[in-house]
Amino acid sequence: MKTALPKQGRPTAEVLAELKGFGADDPNYRQGRLWSLVYYLDEDYADFLGAAYREFSSANGLNPTAFKSLKRFENEIIAGVAEMFHGTPEVCGVVTSGGTESCLLAVKTYRDLARTRGVTRPEMVLPVTAHVAWFKASEYFGVKVRLLPLDPDLRADVSKLPRLINRNTVMILGSAPEYPHGTIDPIEAFSEIAQKRNIPLHVDACVGGFILPFMAMNGRKLPLWDYRVPGVTSISADVHKYGFASKGASTITYRNLDYLKHQMFVYQDWPGGVFASPALLGTRPGGAYAAAWAAMQHFGTSGYRDLAKRTTQAFDKMRKAIEKMPELYVMGQPSGPLLGYGSCDPEVNIFAVGDQMDAKGWTINRLQNPDGLHAMITAGHLPVVDDYLRDLRQAVATVKAHPELAKAGSAATYGLMSHIPLRGMVHQRVLDMFAQMYKAGGQELDLHAPAAPEPGLKGQINAMVDRLAQWYVERQQQRAQRRASR
Each residue's pLDDT expressed in tens, for the chain with a length of 486 residues:
555 788 899 999 999 888 888 888 887 888 888 878 888 889 999 999 999 999 988 888 887 778 889 999 999 999 999 999 999 999 999 999 999 999 999 999 999 999 999 999 999 999 999 999 999 999 999 999 999 999 998 999 999 999 999 999 999 999 999 999 999 999 999 999 999 999 999 999 999 999 999 999 999 999 999 999 999 999 999 999 999 999 999 999 999 999 999 999 998 999 998 888 889 888 888 999 999 999 999 999 999 999 999 999 999 999 999 999 999 999 999 999 999 999 999 999 999 999 999 999 998 899 988 999 999 999 999 999 999 999 999 999 999 999 999 887 777 666 666 665 656 656 666 666 666 665 655 555 444 444 444 445 445 555 555 555 555 556 666 777 777 777
CATH class name, domain 53-298: alpha beta
Upstream peptide bond of 453 is cis (omega within 30 degrees of 0):
no
CA distances from 175 to 189, 293, 335 (A): 13, 25, 13
Upstream peptide bond of 177 is cis (omega within 30 degrees of 0):
yes
460: amino acid identity, one letter: Q
**What is the helix, strand, coil percentage profile of the chain, to 5?**
50, 15, 40
Q: How far apart are CA 204 and CA 206, in angstroms?
A: 6
370: amino acid identity, one letter: P
Q: How far apart are CA 118 and CA 145, in angstroms?
A: 19
Cβ neighbours around 159 below 10 Å, total = 10
- With H, G, I as helix, E, B as strand and everything else as coil, classify residue 120: coil
Q: In the chain, which segments carry CATH 3.40.640.10?
A: 53-298
Pick from 395, 383, 391, 386: which is nearest to 32 by CA? 383
Strand partners, 93: 253
Q: How far apart are CA 189 and CA 196, in angstroms?
A: 11
Sequence-ordered alpha helix ranges (H) in 11-55: 12-21, 43-55
Question: Could you tell me the pTM of the whole model?
Answer: 0.86
Phi and psi for 263 in degrees, rounded to 5? -80, -25
Q: Is 300 exposed, middle or buried (0-12, 13-18, 19+ CB in 10 A)?
A: exposed
